[in-house]
Structure 1
Amino acid sequence: MTFTLTRPHKPIHSLFYTGVLLGLPFQISAADNDFFNDATATLQARNYYFSRDFSDIVGANQQSKSEEWAQGFILNVKSGYTPGSLGFGVDVLGQLGFKLDSSSSRVNTGLLPTGSDGKAADNFGRIGAALKARLSKTELKIGELTPNLPVLTFSDIRLLPPTYQGASLVSQEIDGLTLQAGQFHSGSVLNEAGDGKMRAKLGHVAQLGGDAETDRFNYIGADYAFNDKRTSAGVWYAQLKDIYNQRFYSIKHSEPVGDWVFGANLGFYDSKEDGDRLLGDIDNRALFSMLSAKRGGHTVSVGYQAMFGDDAFPRVFNNVSPLGNEVPTYEFAGADERSWQVRHDFDFSAIGIPGLVSTVRYIRGNNVDTGGGFEGEEWERDLDLGYTFQTGALKGFGVRVRNVTARSNYRTDIDENRLILNYTLTLF
């Protein structure tokens, strides 16, 4: 069995203690500090079936179906901090995926790596560690990271989540204000074992050819929550060096009125080319809004999203984004696109079935500048149903089903099904 790691293979406990010994300036005593007492470890087992049927195929790839089944394991170990005003610790993240079913005619689901022979790998994985330091309410991490930022969203959308290698700083010294900054020099995408330079995606088109790759993603941002934490505002800046830079502004609000809770989420991105312009000029401004009303187990939402400028919305490949109308299959982020969404979520605990939830949504987009002399149009309908066992031997075991129909006059039509089984075991 072959197993590729991002770093030379070491047992997890060896990597854990080696990182601690190298990173800490003094000996640790388990009896009188929180380094061990506050440590946690979980092992998540994820079984993932993914299927996409394609029709009216647009593009060079004429593959009519992607269908694979895989088993993944995610080990997450987090230490506490050493004593003193300046505390040190270490986090370890290990990931391993196994092929259960695939063929050369059904690859490229994003669950498994595809080799040069056109076949999915039997297994793949990676392991990494991050040293961390905490002073007051400010924390620095250096190493293997899983950021979740408006400008680089945590995209846990397949078998194993992507990771990035670099440094992050989070400070919450002022009540309600969160300041963040960081730099990443490489990334590990969701279906690969190794790490490498980062590339971009414009709308639904991945920019994987040529030399448009970089070893720097820089960001800085601030979020401030006020009004009893019911309102928050954010300002962010990000740079995928020599490809694009991006500014993001957001405001969110939640307002209880009797038995109802009304919500609003507004955001605006302003993106353009950066430095050496490895993808040429980039001109995009993206506005999104989502309004919601919740009562009992029901939440009804309506969203509007608009792209302005000559290009589609840019982001790091292969990440999702917080755009209001970005959904599992289509992004609704093409050049000049306008899109609308209607969504209904229901928590069945309101009628005595805790653990069961559902989501139904419909999105329609038009006004896409296809570059082909005609207006692009598209729509998508999603149905999600999930259940987590609340008691008994299967307590904590989750089942999730997703069915998607997506249609377009300028890109490939897709019928999609997913079945995800998930269980997280707490080790300590």
Structure 2
Amino acid sequence: MVLNTTPRTTAAVLASALLLQGTAQAEGFIDDSSASLNLRNFFFERHFTAPGVAQREAREWTQSFIFDARSGFTSGTVAFGVDVLGKYAVKLDGGAGRYGALLLPRDSDGDPASSFGRLGVAFKARISETELKVGEWMPNLPILTADDFRALPQTFRGAQLSSRDIRNWTLYAGEFDKTSLRNDSSMEDLAFNGARSDGFRYLGGDYRSPSKNTTVRLWAGELKDIYQQQYAAIIQRWALTDGVSLTANLGHFRGRDDGSAKAGRLDNHTTSLLLGLGVGAHTFSLGLQRVGGDTGWMRVTGTGGIYLANNTFNHAFDNPREKSWQLRYDLDFAGYGVPGLTLMTRYVKGSDVQLRGVDDGGEWVRESELGYVVQGGSLKNLSLRWRNASVRRDFNASDYDENRLIVSYPIKFF
């Protein structure tokens, strides 16, 4: 599963080759390029409701600038390109007494930083439908998903080989060695439960049927000397009648400790099922999820759990032995003459949580999101989102209510 090179060495080779291509072969490199700047204004306010907590409120407000430039490829048998991801956030509000929204890192004096950011570059090379990418970017893999639920996105540094040369299949192999968290500008070692590793290696394959109605996913990953994890899933869509469809997403994770087991002995098997019934502008969803084994679901520190059925903005219901169910409703107001306006609301309840000192713990989350995307005029694609949530648990003092206001305006340069 390991690419026989280091990310920095491969990046240097690709960069040199790209320069040698010369301007005569740069037509596709330029013509197929894109560049945009996303202005993201993020307000986060959380009120802790459990009795006896020392801090009653977490509140932070930031203005972010996310620059995303992606080149095309040069011509020739071996084609080259480069992607650039720049991210920078400025504090508009948030003091040390209200820290905890995870929009900002802390300075050495303990106060939230006034600003932070970094620049990530990834070089890429392509032969036919096979691509090698080396550098820093945001992976979205079933077993490793960069988090983008705060001011700035999480990024990873590594190398990946992907191929679409086999019809209906996309195959992956890669390795990451460092990450920059969503509220930090530095590169850090990969970690899990406080244990650190120098590499996450993976193999994966996605099959999509010619009808596009069936997807099969088979993946395996290894956080060196901490854990191994396998994932299998099938996603199926049925068009029942005109305007009525049913979607089923069934996935299963299997994990155990790896090598020297720096995080201790691990044993986990997690199954999740998300069913969605679409009726015109309405979608009704049911999520069922069960965490088995002696430990909770495994993921690299800071990453998201969007491939679990009951993952939410706040929690993934992934504690040891936890069973959970979800009811969700989505409405697209385009069906009622208001394109761009959407509503989502859901309720997720978990039970049978087994933690140290906790037997049969329970929790629930209620979340809603109201969003609108401007459809035309000078502010076209400006999006506004309001997220409201309540979280309650009977096994720790982390009950809270929160609001998030997110305004995003993408500026497309080309």
2:4: which partner in 1? none
Find the partner of 1:36 among 30, 50, 73.
30
2:232: which partner in 1? 249
Find the partner of 1:266 among 247, 250, 258.
250
1:47: which partner in 2? 41
TM-superposed deviation, 1:51: 1.2
What CA distance in whole angstroms lies between the structure 2 residues aligned with 1:105 and 1:112?
13
What CA distance in whole angstroms lies between the structure 2 residues aligned with 1:21 and 1:199?
30
Q: Which runs of 4+ in 1 moved over 4 A?
A: 18-21
CA 180–359 in structure 1, closer or farther in 2 if over 3 Å, else same: same
1:315 and 2:299 are equivalent in the alignment: yes
What CA distance in whole angstroms lies between the structure 1 residues aligned with 2:336 and 2:413?
34
Q: What is the TM-score with the length of structure 1 in the denominator?
A: 0.90
Q: Deviations over 1:19-55 (max 9, x none)?
A: 9863426242268621111111110100000111113
2:111: which partner in 1? 119
- Superposition CA RMSD, Å: 1.7
Q: What are the residue-to-residue correspondences of 1:327-406 with 2, within 5 Å? A: 327-406=312-391
Percent identity, aligned pairs only, is 40
Q: What are the residue-to-residue correspondences of 1:137-216 with 2, within 5 Å? A: 137-200=129-192, 207-208=193-194, 212-216=195-199
Consecutive unaligned residues of structure 2, counting only runs of 5 or more, are 1-11
2:152 counterpart SS class: coil
1:96: which partner in 2? 88
2:7: which partner in 1? none
TM-superposed deviation, 1:86: 1.1
What CA distance in whole angstroms lies between the structure 1 residues aligned with 2:204 and 2:355?
33
Count of aligned residue pairs for this structure pair:
400
What CA distance in whole angstroms lies between the structure 2 residues aligned with 1:404 and 1:304?
20
Structure 1 letter corresponding to 2:186: G
Find the partner of 1:223 among 206, 210, 226.
206
Note if contact 2:288-2:309 (Cα within 8 Å) is conserved in structure 1. Answer: yes
Note if contact 2:14-2:125 (Cα within 8 Å) is conserved in structure 1. Answer: no
2:275: which partner in 1? 291
1:36 counterpart SS class: helix
Structure 2 letter corresponding to 1:44: N
1:13: which partner in 2? none
1:10: which partner in 2? none
Q: Deviations over 1:70-114 (max 9, x none)?
A: 000011111111111210011111110000001111112111101
Q: What are the residue-to-residue correspondences of 1:12-23 with 2, within 5 Å? A: 22-23=16-17
Note if contact 2:26-2:73 (Cα within 8 Å) is conserved in structure 1. Answer: no
Q: What is the TM-score with the length of structure 2 in the denominator?
A: 0.93
What CA distance in whole angstroms lies between the structure 2 residues aligned with 1:31 and 1:137?
19
1:204: which partner in 2? none
Q: Deviations over 1:397-418 (max 9, x none)?
A: 1000000011110131121110
TM-superposed deviation, 1:127: 0.3
Note if contact 2:58-2:98 (Cα within 8 Å) is conserved in structure 1. Answer: yes
What CA distance in whole angstroms lies between the structure 1 residues aligned with 2:309 and 2:400?
21
1:275 and 2:282 are equivalent in the alignment: no
What CA distance in whole angstroms lies between the structure 2 residues aligned with 1:221 and 1:341?
28
Q: Deviations over 1:139-198 (max 9, x none)?
A: 110011211000011321111101111101111112211101110110101010110101
1:87 and 2:76 are equivalent in the alignment: no
1:35 counterpart SS class: helix
Find the partner of 1:131 among 106, 112, 123.
123
CA 357–373 in structure 1, closer or farther in 2 if over 3 Å, else same: closer
Structure 2 letter corresponding to 1:51: E
